[in-house]
Amino acid sequence: MAQAKLAQRILQEQGISTRVVVGETAWRVGPGDGDVITHSPRSSGFAPPGVNAFAYHAWLEMGTTIIDFTTHSLRTKAKDLDAYDGGTTHVVWCPEYLVIQSADTLAFKAVAQALNEGVACYQEIPGLYEMMIAKGMDKDLDEGDVQILRILFDNQEMNVFGPNDIAAAGSGVTA
Q: pLDDT tens for residues 100-112?
A: 999 999 999 999 9
Residue 172 scores a pLDDT above 70? no
Lowest model confidence (mean pLDDT) among 11-20, 75-84, 115-124, 129-138: 129-138
Q: Which of 79, 74, 81, 33 is nearest to 57 (CA)?
A: 74
Mean pLDDT value across the chain: 86
Q: How far is CA 163 from CA 100, 130, 169, 172, in A?
A: 32, 34, 10, 11
Q: How far is CA 104 from CA 124, 126, 137, in A?
A: 15, 20, 30
Lowest model confidence (mean pLDDT) among 26-40, 63-77, 130-144: 130-144
pLDDT computed for residue 175 by the predictor: 40
Residue 21 scores a pLDDT above 80? yes
Looking at per-residue confidence, does 117 or 158 come out higher? 117
Q: How far apart are CA 16 and CA 61, in angstroms?
A: 11
Helix/strand/coil percent split, the chain, to 5: 35, 20, 45
